[in-house]
């Protein structure tokens, strides 16, 4: 093995280790503590981690071993499994990223406008149907890779696992349909959701702080006006004409004192309540904004990785080149090892304590 091949193999091995650690970490911290508290984002994160782990264990690991060995030695049967899992995990991963982007688009854009109300994708049956549909699409598009593969090379020391369709026309038709349905459409959806999230963050960032401060201020004004009114009543009673009984002034004075005390007590209690409620809602909103920003970071990685991956696959469809396919596979592998850490940071679980 020359120096260039050794460097490529080491990079691939490092990406494999980072992907295994990150995706297992994401799956573990996303496990619901109780069945009754299962949430949409947990299901989506676990599904994303599973999709990426298929790539890490059944695609990156064999490819890394084959790189160090200098040839494909797993046989033609596992070659079919290798190619099948590559497209299966790739398709499932990009669709799951689309669902995560759509979910946080609804949470940030829709939920904040309605004061934290539930959104459509909070429904676990709906999310289950979407994930089942994405896995079905992934399986359908991956089946041809299980049958139309071959281990070929100039000699036994340079064998490689490659796709081998019946004819070039069939392969081009398949590639066009696959790249359109399983790559282009999800990328457009992720881009749209990301743009909407950006606009929402810009529009609501300042409103979030001011929205929760108004109720407390209004309560203070109301209680202050009550106290002022009570003070005015006290002055009026003190200025009672001489013809009035003294006991009347005494009762009025005690009533005024009680009124002042009650008003102050109510003012303090009513002032503390909206502040506590505002603090809770601000915390929830801050979590949503943080997660939405992590989705934006993921969207940037998705657009960089998958748009480049898509262009390389289109280029290979026009002009077949093993180098182009190799670069495309490296880009796909880089996505699976970067994404989990961004999501872990976004949901504040990038710590050894793994606190929820």
* Residue-wise pLDDT tens digits, 52-78: 999 899 988 988 888 888 788 888 889
As given in the structure block, the two tokens for residue 82 are 């290798």
CB neighbourhood size of 238 (10 A): 11
pTM listed for this prediction: 0.72
- What pLDDT, on the 0 to 100 scale, is given for residue 299? 76
Distance of CA 187 to the CA centre of its chain: 15
Given a cut of 60, whether residue 226 has pLDDT beyond it is: no
Mean pLDDT of 289-318: 75
User: Given this model, what pLDDT does residue 356 score?
Assistant: 39
pLDDT for 209 beyond 70: no
Question: Which positions ≥6 away from 247 have C-beta within 8 Å?
Answer: none
Percentage of residues in the chain having pLDDT higher than 90: 17
Tokens of 196: 């909407």
Residue-wise pLDDT for 72-125, tens only, equals 888 888 999 999 998 899 899 999 989 988 888 888 776 666 666 677 888 889
**Average predicted confidence (pLDDT) for the chain:** 74
The dihedrals phi and psi of 90, each to the nearest 5 degrees, come to: -60, -45
Q: For 163, list phi and psi in degrees, rounded to 5.
A: -75, 140
Q: What domains are there in the chain, each with its CATH number?
A: 3-208+286-346 (1.20.1070.10)
Q: Residues 6 or more apart from 297 whose CB is under 8 A from it?
A: 342, 346
Alpha carbons within 13 angstroms on the beta-carbon side of residue 207 total 10
Using alpha carbons, select from 348, 341, 344 the residue that is nearest to residue 287.
348
Q: Of 106-120, 247-261, 273-287, where does mean pLDDT reach its minimum?
A: 247-261
| Burial track 274-299 (b if 16+ CB lie within 10 A, e otherwise) | beeebeebeeebeebbebbbbbbbbb
User: What is the number of other CB atoms lying within 10 angstroms of the CB of residue 160?
Assistant: 15
Residue 151 bridge partners (DSSP): 161
CA distance 247 to 159: 110
- Select the more confidently predicted residue: 236 or 133: 133
């Amino acid at each position: 093995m020359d120096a260039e091949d050794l460097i490529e193999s080491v990079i691939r091995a490092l990406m494999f280790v980072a992907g295994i650690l990150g995706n297992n970490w994401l799956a573990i911290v996303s496990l619901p503590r109780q069945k009754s508290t299962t949430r949409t984002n947990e299901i989506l994160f676990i599904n994303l981690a599973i999709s990426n782990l298929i790539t890490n264990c059944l695609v990156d690991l064999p490819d890394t071993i084959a790189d160090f060995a200098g040839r494909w030695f797993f046989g033609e049967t596992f070659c079919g499994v290798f190619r099948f899992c590559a497209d299966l995990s790739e398709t499932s991963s990009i669709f799951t990223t689309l669902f995560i982007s759509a979910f946080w688009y609804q949470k940030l854009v829709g939920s904040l406008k309605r004061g934290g109300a539930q959104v459509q994708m909070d429904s676990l049956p709906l999310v289950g149907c979407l994930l089942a549909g994405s896995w079905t699409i992934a399986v359908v598009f991956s089946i041809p890779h299980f049958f139309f593969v071959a281990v070929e090379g100039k000699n036994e020391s340079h064998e490689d696992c490659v796709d081998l369709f019946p004819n070039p026309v069939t392969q081009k038709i398949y590639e066009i349909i696959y790249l359109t349905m399983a790559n282009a459409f999800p990328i457009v959806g992720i881009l749209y959701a990301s743009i909407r999230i950006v606009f929402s963050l810009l529009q609501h960032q300042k409103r979030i702080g001011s929205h929760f401060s108004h109720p407390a201020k209004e309560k203070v004004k109301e209680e202050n006006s009550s106290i002022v009114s009570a003070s005015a009543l006290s002055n009026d009673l003190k200025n009672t004409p001489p013809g009035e009984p003294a006991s009347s002034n005494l009762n009025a004075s005690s009533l005024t004192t009680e009124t002042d005390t009650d008003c102050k007590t109510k003012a303090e209690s009513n002032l503390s309540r909206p502040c506590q409620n505002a603090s809770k809602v601000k915390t929830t909103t801050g979590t949503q904004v943080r997660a939405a920003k992590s989705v934006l970071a993921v969207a940037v990685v998705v657009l960089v990785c998958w748009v480049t991956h898509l262009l390389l696959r289109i280029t290979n469809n026009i002009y077949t080149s093993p180098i182009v396919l190799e670069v495309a596979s490296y880009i796909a592998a880089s996505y699976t090892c970067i994404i989990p850490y961004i999501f872990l940071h976004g949901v504040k679980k990038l710590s050894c304590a793994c606190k929820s």
